[in-house]
A and B are shown apart, each in its own frame.
Chain A
Amino acid sequence: MKDMSEGYVTADGRKIGGVLMEMKNITLRFGGVVAIKDISFDIREGEIRAIIGPNGAGKSSMLNVISGFYIPSEGEVFYKGSKRPQMRPYQVAQQGIARTFQNIALFEGMTVLDNIMTGRLTNMKSNLFQQALWYGKANEEEMANREKVERVIDFLEIQSIRKTPVGRLPYGLKKRVELARALAAEPSLLLLDEPMAGMNVEEKEDMSRFILDVNDEFGTTIALIEHDMGVVMDLSDRVVVMDYGKKIGDGTPDEVRNNQDVIDAYLGVAHD
């Protein structure tokens, strides 16, 4: 693998910066089960980084480590150059990390707009009392946040469902609303857990376009887990491949595609 300590330039001319997050020798155990075994890799500013692997490879666990939800049993996580201490989820959000979930986690009874507004919560300084009475800065703050949210709505082309309760939406649109909520937080690192699971071809194409546009327009660094190999190879700049909790490959889509271990993991290999 070529040396990339100073960042690199992708085939389509995007400049990728230095290391945003680095995982060093991460191991994660649940009792006797070892979900992740001694994995190291980094995520660079401005890139689309994919984590792939067969079922049960430990991808979602890895994403949960990145998001700070799981505390690794061994190893260290560096974020923006410094070692990350143990944190509560809201502190992670304040650090500029946002995510979507494999199983949609939206407030079903609330409208799309309100759901996306919740993505702005960490940016609100007024307290419950002020918000309830529209007292002090609450009014101004609400307007500023609403404008940010409207830009996301416009970006993801969901104007027509702005006032629709999420529970009434089809699956593909719910996924888009989840992405909208994550984007509303204006993250510097966006984590997507299987953004295209269960979608049809057209919805996948739309979502791919949105992911590329987010990266292009806002310069957001994106780490994603995905099963659809075609999508991963098209979208991402670099790919980490996991199998049984271990890292078996890391590099550009082309490098990974020609890696014998990866081919074996995906196509199966005779054990003798």
Chain B
Amino acid sequence: MTEGAEGLRSIPALLHRNATRFAKASAYREKEFGIWQSWTWAETEKQIEALALGLLNLGVNEGDFVAIIGRNRPYLYWSMVAAQSVGAIPVPLYQDAVAEEMEYVLSHCGARFVIVADQEQVDKVIEVQEHLHQFEHLIYLDPRGLRKYDHTRLHQYSHVQDQGRAAYDEFIPELKRRREKLGYDDTCVMLYTSGTTGKPKGVVLSNRNIIETAKASSEFDHLKPNDEVLAYLPMAWVGDFIFSIGQAYWTGFCVNCPESAETMMTDLKEIAPSYYFAPPRVFETQLTSIMIRMEDAGPFKKRMFHYFMKHAKEVGPRILDGKPVGFGERLKYALGELMVYGPLKNTLGFSKVRVGYTAGEAIGPEIFSFYRSLGINLKQLYGQTEAGVFITQQPDGEVRADTVGVPSPGVEVRIDDSGEVFYRSPGVFVEYYKNPESTASTKDAEGWVATGDAGFFEPDTGHLRIIDRAKDVGKMADGSMFAPKYVENKLKFYPNILEAVVFGNERDKCTAFINIDLSAVGNWAERNNISYASYQELAGHPKVLEMIQNHVEETNASVAQDEMLSGCQIHRFLVLHKELDADDGELTRTRKVRRKIIGEKFEDLVNALYDGSDSVYTETEVTYEDGRKGKIKATLSIRDAKVLPVAPKSMAAE
């Protein structure tokens, strides 16, 4: 068969190529016991083979689903490839999901085998196992605390590998047979979408989807075998699968795993990746912490920082885009690099970033330009699980904060009459597992997939601009357009605002819930001698409300300038007494707002926003990290924000 890119039709095939071509180059690194441990491609192949043999020994059949749960560790990435090697389908799950969420996914795909990281995950699986009819064996990585467990269906990862090695002669012919049988249209991986609405759906991606996407995107950004990435985003997320498996195996670069979630920033600094991906939230948090630390710095450092940052903002992005910049300005920028930008980038771990991406949410223009002005080539992409990530991305030199770039290589994009974005590409998913209705309603016979996002191409540049989720875009009572996300994003660009939810569909005016950012507002409170005992108290402090009111009014002023959306100014708002949380179902696991659920859960608050009252009393159920539930009570005050007059243009729009 010659089908497949360079005749390589599966991840195990790519692994074999890498183990031959880059045998001595590092494939994986993980910090453990304070030292970076590394595995070459040749060693990786051996490890994966041992595990695959062990899985055969346990009786994994072709077409079985193998669920994988845990934080980013080389061993778990190997599990995915080992599962593929024996013809099974890996299904990575979000490790912070509670047991019931796992139960749904595990029983939906009917996983016979589950490979987990540690005791915490073992406990969750055991908790729900009696509802899982097909579940048979559980393999764990870290034996700690598991000594006393019943081991009839429980196996330690290293023992499975040992048994695999011991039974090498017995199983190797079968492993080879299965490995070589893997075709371009066989399933590579199944990933569950986080589901802003309803139950998660299993997106089936074939080897063709993954390899074609990895090939096209690696070429687009000229990725090289000596590139380094830090794998820290959830393994269940399609982006991580493409970066840490698809592109890594296609290109042959090294995947680095942090020591623990808390040490991510230190590990980032030590590794200094050359190819980096982070959701806007990570960049926001980093910028907030830089700004907080600069506030505490000495006056000389502070002045130097602000002086050079001002210069960087003017010329940094232009240098990055290869536009003409005067000699004097370049010299001053070089001095700034020496004094401020270089050390700062080093501290952040961005010294070597050649290509950086952000996606998932809109990024604040301020934040975006901050990183670009430092000389970090941060770009935006627009993607979906169903597309194998890439739909559009920004080419080098054409980067802007408010667009998501041009269609990725091999991707066709069109906008239908209602403004919804559709795409078609080799990366388009096969189907939603056991859900033909959803598959049919998302993907048409010609392979066009509805994104559910409303957007348009900018006529001058050909770049795509996304306005909002198509189903969230509504109409106000007076018929003008309502795009909540657009306003929410503007609000969220203020470091003090963590999350915002705007209401107003089919109403006469817009209102909003605001979540404060505890670290930013807390630091501000400390500097201004405002004492508080809890999140709730800080969120309800009159001075905080005043500050948020200023932000809302500034946002209104900026919204008013957009002709189409000037009706979306916020008339009234309140600051929520609790942080919106995925454990309470208010956010998805990828931290996107679940508008409808929030609207229903806090119905009393929404009503209060519209009935003109000054304050409202509410009781809310919350879920603690350990799964227990409690109630918090609060009286929230509601504030009116200044709005700018809207020009009556609904007539003209007719």
Residues of chain A whose beta carbon lies under 8 Å from any beta carbon of chain B: 12-14, 146-147, 150-151, 153-155, 157, 159-160, 162, 202, 205, 209, 212-213, 216-217
Contacts and interface: CB of A to CB of B under 8 A. Distances in A.
DSSP class of B's interface residues: helix, strand, loop or mixed? Answer: loop
Contacts of A217: 144-145, 147
B6 interface: no
23 contacts: A14-B148, A146-B34, A147-B33, A150-B34, A151-B33, A153-B33, A153-B34, A154-B32, A154-B33, A155-B144, A157-B260, A159-B34, A159-B263, A160-B266, A202-B626, A209-B145, A212-B145, A213-B144, A213-B145, A216-B145, A216-B147, A216-B148, A217-B144
Given A155-B144, A205-B626, 12 more contacts: A13-B148, A14-B148, A150-B35, A153-B33, A159-B34, A159-B262, A159-B263, A160-B262, A160-B263, A162-B34, A213-B144, A216-B148
A225 B201 CA distance: 51
A154 B118 CA distance: 13
Contacts of A202: 625-626
Nearest to A149: B34
A157 B35 CA distance: 15
Contacts of B33: 147, 150-151, 153-154
Instruction: State which size class the interface on B falls in.
Output: 10 to 19
Contacts of A153: 33-34
A192 to B, nearest CB: 19
Interface in B587-617: none
A150 B260 CA distance: 14
A47 B147 CA distance: 16
A47 to B, nearest CB: 15
B259 interface: yes
Contacts of A212: 145
Interface in B21-59: 32-35
A150 to B, nearest CB: 4
Interface in B258-282: 259-260, 262-263, 266
A206 to B, nearest CB: 11
Contacts of A160: 259-260, 262-263, 266
Interface in B238-273: 259-260, 262-263, 266
A72 to B, nearest CB: 37
Interface in B133-158: 144-145, 147-148
A83 B260 CA distance: 46
Contacts of B626: 202, 205
Contacts of A151: 33
A150 B31 CA distance: 11
Contacts of B144: 155, 213, 217
Contacts of B625: 202
Nearest to A162: B34
Interface in B440-483: none
Nearest to A213: B145
Nearest to A151: B33
A213 B119 CA distance: 11
Closest 10 CB pairs of A and B: A160-B262, A150-B33, A150-B34, A160-B263, A159-B259, A159-B263, A159-B260, A213-B145, A216-B147, A154-B33
B34 A12 contact: no
B99 to A, nearest CB: 17
Contacts of A147: 33
Nearest to B147: A216
Q: Which interface residue of B34, B35, B148, B626 has the most chain A CB atoms within 10 A?
A: B34
Contacts of A157: 260
Contacts of B32: 154
Nearest to A205: B626
B144 to A, nearest CB: 6
Contacts of B148: 12-14, 216
Contacts of A13: 148
Q: Which interface residue of A12, A154, A160 has the most chain B CB atoms within 10 A?
A: A160
A160 B262 CA distance: 6
Contacts of B262: 159-160
B188 to A, nearest CB: 33
A147 B35 CA distance: 10
B169 to A, nearest CB: 35
B311 to A, nearest CB: 33
A13 B149 CA distance: 11
Nearest to A14: B148
Nearest to B258: A159
B526 to A, nearest CB: 16
Nearest to A12: B148
Nearest to A152: B33
A213 B35 CA distance: 24
A187 B147 CA distance: 21
Q: Which interface residue of A154, A159, A212, A216 has the most chain B CB atoms within 10 A?
A: A159
A14 B34 CA distance: 32
Nearest to B33: A150
B91 to A, nearest CB: 27
A51 to B, nearest CB: 25
A216 B144 CA distance: 9
Nearest to B35: A150
Interface in B267-306: none
Contacts of A213: 144-145
A79 B473 CA distance: 76
A153 B34 CA distance: 9
A59 B35 CA distance: 41
A162 B33 CA distance: 11
A146 B626 CA distance: 34
